[in-house]
Amino acid sequence: MSLLELEDVSASYGYAPVLHGISFGLEANRAEGILGANGAGKTTTLRAISGMVPATGRIRFDGVDILGKSPDRIARMGIAHVPEGRGTLGGLSVRDNLRIGAYQRKDRKQIDEHIEFCLDLFPNLRERISSNASALSGGEQQMLAVARAFMAQPRVILLDEASLGLAPSTAQRVYDAIRRLQTETGVAMVVVEQNASLAFSVVDHALVLETGRVSIEGPKESLMGMDEVRRAYLGG
Ligand SMILES: Nc1ncnc2c1ncn2[C@@H]1O[C@H](COP(=O)(O)OP(=O)(O)OP(=O)(O)O)[C@@H](O)[C@H]1O
Ligand SMILES: [Mg+2]
C-alpha cells in the first residue's frame, strides 16, 4: 500500500473540469515528480490532495480516505503544502515563521533541534534569523517556506514550483537543500516542477500531466531518455 494514493481523481473550478481521472501512488521515503506545461493541472493536483479544491475519486493517506476532509485536518494528519508563491508570513521573523510551522507540536526540545537542522540546511536563513520574512530575497523566502513546512514534521511535503522566479544558481541551491532534506529525513515528497532537471535532482519517479491527464509516467531514468520529455522539459 502506498503512503499516498490517488485513484481516478477529477477536479473542476465551477463548471470547468481541470483534472480528468488522475491516478498515482507515492511510497513512504520516496519523492514523486509532477511535470507539465502551464495550465496542465499540477497545482490543482496538489490542491486536491490538501483539500483545497473539491475533487472526486479516491485519495488515501496511510490507508485513510482524506478526500472531503478540510485542509486543516489534512495538514494535521501529516501532509504539508508549500504553495506556489511560497506563503511565508511577511510580518514575522524567520525564527517565528519556523516556530509557527511547529505550532501543533509539544516536543519543545526537538523543535529547537529541528530549527537548527533547518538552519544547517539553509545557511542563508541562519544569517537572516531575526529579519522579517518580507525582507528576504525570493530564494530565501522559498527556503523559509520549505523549512517551515518541515517544522510541522509532516510525512509528506507537497512542493509547488520551488524554482519559480529564481535565478538558476539560486534554484539549484534550493533544490540541493531539498534533496538533502529528503534523503536525510526520509520525508516523502511530491515535487511539482516545470524545470525537469531540478525535479530529477530530487525524485526517482515522475509523471507528466497534459491537460489534466497523466500522459507519461515512469522512473526518472526512462523519462530522461524520452525525446518528448527532453524537448518539452529538459531544454533539448
Ligand atoms: N481558481 C481558479 N479558478 C478557475 N480556473 C482555475 C483556477 N485555478 C486554475 N484554474 C485553471 O485550471 C487549469 C489548471 O491550472 P493549474 O493551476 O492546476 O495548472 P498548473 O499546471 O499548476 O500551471 P502552472 O505551471 O502555470 O502553475 C488551468 O486551465 C487554469 O486556468
Ligand atoms: Mg501551478
Residue ranges and CATH numbers for the domains of the chain are 4-233 (3.40.50.300)
What mean pLDDT is predicted for residues 16-26? 96
Sign of CA dihedral 225, 230, 231, 233: positive
Helix (H, G, I), strand (E, B) or coil at 32: strand
Ligand 1 site, residue 43, Cβ cutoff 6 A:
yes
- The one-letter amino acid code at 35 reads L
Grid cell listed for 169: 544558481
Residue 38 gets which letter from DSSP? T
Task: State pLDDT tens for residues 136-166.
Answer: 999 999 999 999 999 999 999 999 999 999 9
What mean pLDDT is predicted for residues 23-30? 97
Q: Shortest CA distance to 71 belongs to which of 41, 50, 54?
A: 50
Residue 71 gets which letter from DSSP? H
User: Which residue's C-alpha comes closest to atom 17 of ligand 1?
Assistant: 43
Please report the pLDDT score of residue 50 as a whole number.
97
Ligand 1 site, residue 97, Cβ cutoff 6 A:
no
What mean pLDDT is predicted for residues 84-89? 78
Grid cell listed for 54: 473539491
- Pairing relation of β-strands 31-36 and 55-61? unpaired
Q: How far apart are CA 3 and CA 1, in angstroms?
A: 7
124 band by pLDDT with thresholds 50, 70 and 90: very high
